[in-house]
Chains A and B, each alone.
Chain A
């Protein structure tokens, strides 16, 4: 499993663009929104938590179809399915690799973008905490969506239609935690609920994704 993780990470780093792309997209969202709504600091401060969370969500979405698609095309997935490692474990490792190359960099970059969007100082802790707690759920849900659509020729658009509604609870609690902290309220409840969603997704979705992969490999 560790070998698989290392392999996936190497592929993501070296094989063309997947790694930095999400991050660049996140930056672009944070730059485009002030250009769209105007540079007034107060407005930006109000919408910053939402923008950062929606931006993180969309950047996560960008690289989802790469989780399984390449391995599906060259037949690696068939080998992984017959390997001694259970397919659920393979899914979990691939979701972890996806999180390491998208969710983690997004979490680390978010404070800088918060600065661009004039996020109040009280919000930064909650921003990093909520992204660190929430993005693993985004990767797990995304891996499930990618497993559903892996057999399709043009699954990209369908993938976003399937995955984005599933992202709603994570988004609501994540953005709520940040905006509560930014306006001086306690973000604890929202963070706990966010962590609960992540824990639940990590526990259940690898099984659902593996079931979907088995159907697709049949």
Chain B
């Protein structure tokens, strides 16, 4: 039993088909539970009032936006090294989900920033690097859409993803150098005793789990769709040849 078994599309379709309903249910449960708990059963912050509650959308979305790119990077590497089609399709499937999470993080940040910082947008390093991440996602998706041959597209987007990752990290440090920050420091880190007050912390973790599961659900679903589309395409071609 190794993970490479799932490089076989048939095996992948079987397993993902059985797993998908469970993952969907779990993500719905976590999201509903976490968001309802967070929105209605936590106290207002003494300084921020109820605007603090946008944290339950903003932080998980931002976290998953970065992790989605990271997952695309790993999937692209696997495609380049081992030529597993499922891997390339999974990278393709993750990109629109990642760009949506990036957009959610940007928009919720703007909605929170308006009453708190008094502005919808500031050229703060964190905000700027997220906007840059958004642009990288757009370029990646556009390249996938532009190339007709699926294998060529997979190769070129994988190379772009690799180079883009390097430059995305460079941009992150470049904008740090370029402007002072307005955004607060990392909300979550593993080496601190207490990150945010416990009343907010537990529902936040539930929401993060929910967003991670949602990402998994959507990527599985979209990868399955891509595989089916690929099969349909080859069936049609065989039909035409006959």
Which residues of A are in contact with B by a Cβ distance under 8 Å?
144, 148-149, 151-152, 155, 158, 161-162, 164-166, 168-169, 172-173, 176, 190, 193, 197, 204-205, 208, 211-212, 215-216, 218
Contacts and interface: CB of A to CB of B under 8 A. Distances in A.
A168 B135 CA distance: 11
A205 B163 contact: yes
Contact of A212 (B159, B171, B175): B159
A208 B142 CA distance: 19
B159 A165 contact: no
Contacts of A208: 159, 162-163
B138 A216 contact: no
Please indicate which of the listed interface residues B143, B174, B177 has the most CB atoms of chain A within 10 Å of its own CB.
B174
A65 to B, nearest CB: 14
Contact of B155 (A197, A205, A215): A215
11 contacts: A161-B138, A165-B171, A166-B164, A168-B175, A169-B174, A176-B177, A190-B177, A208-B162, A208-B163, A212-B159, A215-B156
B180 to A, nearest CB: 13
Given A204-B166, A211-B155, 12 more contacts: A148-B143, A151-B147, A161-B139, A165-B139, A165-B164, A165-B171, A172-B174, A172-B177, A197-B170, A212-B159, A215-B155, A215-B156
Contacts of B146: 149, 152, 155, 158
Interface of B: 132, 135-136, 138-139, 142-143, 146-147, 152, 155-156, 159-160, 162-164, 166-167, 170-171, 173-175, 177-178
B167 A151 contact: no
Contacts of B142: 158, 161-162
Top 3 A-B pairs, shortest CB-CB distance: A172-B174, A169-B174, A169-B170
Contact of A211 (B139, B159, B164, B173): B159
A161 B145 CA distance: 13
A148 B171 contact: no
Contacts of A162: 139, 142-143, 160
Chain A contact residues: over half helix, strand or loop, or mixed? helix
A80 B14 CA distance: 46
A144 B163 contact: yes
A165 B132 contact: yes
A118 B154 CA distance: 48
A187 B164 CA distance: 27
Contact of B152 (A155, A172, A193, A216): A216
A50 B102 CA distance: 27
A143 to B, nearest CB: 12
B162 A212 contact: no
Contact of A176 (B139, B164, B171, B178): B178
Contacts of B156: 148, 212, 215-216
B132 A168 contact: yes
A48 B39 CA distance: 48
A215 B170 contact: no
A104 to B, nearest CB: 24
Contacts of A218: 152
Contacts of A148: 143, 156, 159-160
A149 B136 CA distance: 16
A166 B136 CA distance: 8
B159 A193 contact: no
A211 B174 CA distance: 27
A211 B152 CA distance: 11
Contacts of A151: 147, 152
A135 B155 CA distance: 28
